Structure 1
Amino acid sequence: MKVLPQLIKGNSNADDRGVLHFNNDFNAFGVKRIYTIQNRDTKFVRGWQGHKIEQRWFSAIQGSFKIFLIAIDDWNAPSTNLIQHEFILDAQKMDVLHVPSGYVSSIQSLEKSSKLLLMSDYLLGDINDEYRYDINYFTK
């Protein structure tokens, strides 16, 4: 049985000093690399890309994103009608989406200038574990 993606809920607190966004339940142990992505516009969908071994964590740090995840059954020729898990990440909530190994993702910005933080448990070049499929490969 595949490990399911998990949304680790964040929160915020506002007072006379300003706003504090936090995620006290996210444990960053094992994170070895971080980077950000910004899609060129809200119509562009970045996908499908995933990892058989690497796991990742996503968090919106500006704006919001719609993310679909699919557990892959056969990396050489996956089924085209696999179950898609949908998540919305919003920078105002500081949620962290854990993407276990074995999933591909598609990422769409929901607002102009949205920025997504990605974290990985492998350094760049440590393993050869990147799989890409055409954006129209999986049916929605």
Structure 2
Amino acid sequence: MEIPKIISGGNHLDERGTLFFNNNFDASEVKRIYFIENKDTHFVRGWIGHKIEQRWFSALTGSFIIRLVKIDNWIEPDKQTEIIEFELDSRQLNVLHIPQGYATAIQAKENGSRLLVMANYLLGEIDDQYRFEIDYFEKLTS
């Protein structure tokens, strides 16, 4: 079983400017990309889960808190499951890999933050989206 992890990127600054890179991220499975820009820093987008699909997130502008829960029973998920939290910041080209079997809640830490989302299935290729009320999982903090 895969677990969510940060694939670390970096940057290089010289007289020409800054180069952001992630030489450890293999994008060969990515079939679709899009951006998320939350309306403000109080709004939490979620919970949205994927039983089959994988996702990769990277903050392109600003920063985000990404909360994850592992779901084993998609019919009646455990409401008190552990919430895992990651922070993504646009000052590094870090990529958060979210394997299949997780639900996410996404919150911008700064207004105008943009999150790049990459998925391994095309839109409509599979029916694999599970939505839960934002207060479904206990211990969610904003």
TM-score by length of 2: 0.96
What's the C-alpha RMSD, in Å, of the aligned pairs? 0.6
- Cα offsets for 1:62-111 (capped at 9, x unmatched): 00000011110211110101111110000111100000000000000000
Q: Does 1:49 align with 2:57?
A: no
Long gaps (5+) in structure 1: none
1:89 is aligned to 88
The residue that corresponds to 2:110 in the other structure is 111
Distance 1:115 1:66 in 2: 12
1:130 alignment counterpart: 129
Rounded Cα–Cα distance in structure 1 between residues aligned with 2:60 and 2:4: 19
Structure 2 runs not aligned, ≥5 long: none
Q: Which residue of 1 aligns with 2:63?
A: 64
AA aligned opposite 1:5: P
* Partner Cα distance (2:22, 2:83) in 1: 25
SS at match of 2:111: coil
CA distance in 2, matches of 1:8, 1:51: 20
What SS does the aligned partner of 1:49 have?
A: strand
- For 1:125 and 1:56, the matched residues in 2 are separated by 15
Q: Distance in 2 between matches of 1:110 and 1:56?
A: 20
Structure 1 runs, 4 residues or longer, greater than 6 Å off: none
- The 1-side partners of 2:13 and 2:65 are apart by 26
Give the 3-state SS of the residue equivalent to 2:125 in structure 1: coil
Q: What amino acid does structure 2 have at the position aligned with 1:107?
A: I
- Which amino acid is the alignment partner of residue 13 of structure 1? H
How far the C-alpha of 1:12 sits from its partner, in A, is 0.5
Q: CA deviation at 1:42?
A: 0.2
User: Cα distance, 1:3 vs. partner?
Assistant: 1.5
Q: Normalising by structure 1, what TM-score?
A: 0.98
